[in-house]
Amino acid sequence: MEIKCVVAIVRSDVLETLERRLGAIHIHGVTVSRVKGFGGHPNLFSNDWTTEHIKIEIFTQEPNVDALVKEIMDITHTGAGGGGVIAVLPVERFFRVSTLSKAIP
């Protein structure tokens, strides 16, 4: 089955709600990073135009992508600019890293 990576950069105040809702739709693997940047809505009232956001990355099977993106959109949509972005990326190869079963001499 084809794997996709859903990347969302969203406001940090939605993280707790987002984590609960993703768990409710059986998404149990999420990478969360604090990031800074600016896009279409830079912080022009500051010497530093960047704002802090949360970046989440989720690997999921292709049939789950639409439901996942819908959940993220439902939680993060405010109707105002600066709410964030979501990208769906193809995953060429995917490996799980496990412990070795044999000792290395």
* CATH at residue 61: 3.30.70.120
Count of structural domains, the chain: 1
In a domain, 97, yes or no: no
In a domain, 14, yes or no: yes
Q: Three-state DSSP class for 58?
A: strand
Contact 8, 89 (CB under 8 A): no
Contact 82, 13 (CB under 8 A): no
pTM of the prediction? 0.81
Structure confidence at residue 104 (pLDDT): 47
In a domain, 98, yes or no: no
In a domain, 79, yes or no: yes
In a domain, 78, yes or no: yes
Average pLDDT, integer, range 28-49:
80
Structure confidence at residue 35 (pLDDT): 94
In a domain, 100, yes or no: no
Q: Quick check: 4 pLDDT over 70?
A: yes
